[in-house]
Amino acid sequence: EEIQLFCPATIANVSCGFDVLGLALASVGDTMIIRKKKKPGITITKITGQDLPLATENNVAGVAGLAFLEASDYHGGFEIEIHKKIKPGSGIGSSAASAAGAVVGMNILLDNPFNFTQLTTFAMQGEKLASNVAHADNVAPAIFGGFTLVRSYSPLDIIPIPTPTELYATVVHPQIEVKTSDSRKILKNTFTLSQGIKQWGNMGGLVAGLYTSDYNLIGRSLEDHIIEPIRSILIPEFKKVTDSVKETGALGAGISGSGPSIFALSKGKEMAKQVAETIKTIYSKTGIDFDIHVSKIA
C-alpha cells in the first residue's frame, strides 16, 4: 500500500505573526511517496533534488515519522521517498514540507488515527531537528492548508483561518543560504511595550482582514516591528524590494519565515505576476541568482 503526496511550501510569520502565523502555497512544493511495510520503523529509501541525510534519525521526515510511530499502536513501519523541489535554507519551509508530508501520509495509510493538531506535534519534532526549535508556524499550514494561527504552544492549539479567494503570494528566493538556527540567534529576547502594541494591533488586523476578505486591511497589517528590523540586514535589497512591490500594487511584503526569501501578497494573480516582474528587475541588477514563484494560497 502506498500514497503519493504534494507537500506544500509555506510562508511562516507573515510579517506580524512570528512563530504563530503561517500560510501554505498551492503550487510550490515537494512530492513524497510513503509505503506501508511490515518491517517496523522508518526507512528513507530515496531523496532526489537535494543532498539530504538518509539516516532516519538525521532526517526531518524520519524524525517526524518516528514521533508518529511512538504515539501510534501500529506495529509495522513505513518507507519514505522524498522528491525535493523546495531548497533547504530558502525560508519557505523546506524541512516542514518533509516533516508534515511524512506524518500526513502515514496517517492516511493507517485510516487517520490522529487529528491534524496531533500530526502537527509529530511534525514539530522534525523542525526541532532542523532548527533546534520546535516551531509550528510552517508545519501547521503544511498540514491544515491555507492560513493557520498557533493560538498556543502549550497546549498546542491550532486555528485554521479562512483565505480570501483572490489572495496570491509572490516569493523570491535569492540564492544565499540563511539557516533558521542562525537567523534566530541574532534576535533579541525582549521588545518594548510600544513595539508590542503595534505588533498585536497588526496581528489582530491581519486575522480580521482574512476573515472578512478585506484586502486593504490585510495590506495595512503586513508590518513587523520586532523581528524584521533585525533580520532584514541579512537579505539583499530588502527595503528596495518591499518598497517597490508596494508601489507596483502589492498589498504588502516581508521576510518569508527566517529568510532569505521575501514574500509579497497581492489581490489577484495578474498583480502577483506584475510584482514578480518588479522583483526580477531589481534582483537582475544584483548579480545574485534567484528563483521566483507566484502561487495561490491553499
Q: Which positions touch ligand HSE (CB under 6 A)?
A: 12-13, 18-19, 135, 137-138, 180, 184, 257-258
CB closer to ligand HSE out of 219 and 257: 257
Cell 540563511, residue?
Answer: 178
**Closer residue to ligand HSE in complex, CB, 135/173:** 135
Tell the smallest beta-carbon distance from residue 247 to ligand HSE (Å).
Answer: 26
CB atoms within 10 A of CB 239: 9
Please, what is the minimum distance in Å from the beta carbon of residue 90 to ligand HSE? 10
What is the rounded distance in angstroms from the CA atom of residue 22 to the CA atom of residue 294? 17
Strands 167-174 and 147-153: unpaired
CA distance 170 to 296: 9
CA dist., res. 278 & res. 99, Å (int): 33
Question: Is 166 marked active-site?
Answer: no
Residue among 10, 120, 121, 127 flagged as catalytic: 127
Q: How far is the CB of 30 from ligand HSE (least distance, A)?
A: 16
Nearer to ligand HSE by Cβ, of 219 and 254: the residue is 254
Contact (CB, 8 A) for 139 and 124: yes
CB-nearest residue to ligand HSE: 257
Q: Which is nearer to ligand HSE, 182 or 270 (CB)?
A: 182
The region, left, alpha or beta by phi > 0 then psi within -120 to 50, assigned to residue 213 is left
Buried-state track 251-274, b at ≥16 Cβ within 10 A, e below 16: bbbbbbbbbbbbbbbbbeeebbeb
Closest CA to 107 of 85, 74, 153: 74
Nearer to ligand HSE, 12 or 42 (CB): 12
Name the grid cell of 65. 515519522
For the CB of residue 273, give the shortest distance to ligand HSE in the complex, in Å. 25
Nearer Cβ to ligand HSE, position 135 or 225?
A: 135
Q: What's the closest the beta carbon of residue 295 comes to ligand HSE, in angstroms? A: 17
Nearest approach, Cβ of 222 to ligand HSE (angstroms)?
A: 15
Residue 268 backbone class (left: φ over 0; alpha: ψ -120 to 50; beta: rest): left
Is 56 in the active site? no
Which is the catalytic residue, given 180, 242, 248, 278? 180
With H, G, I as helix, E, B as strand and everything else as coil, classify residue 38. Answer: coil
- Beta pairing, strands 41-48 & 77-83: parallel
Catalytic residues: 127, 180
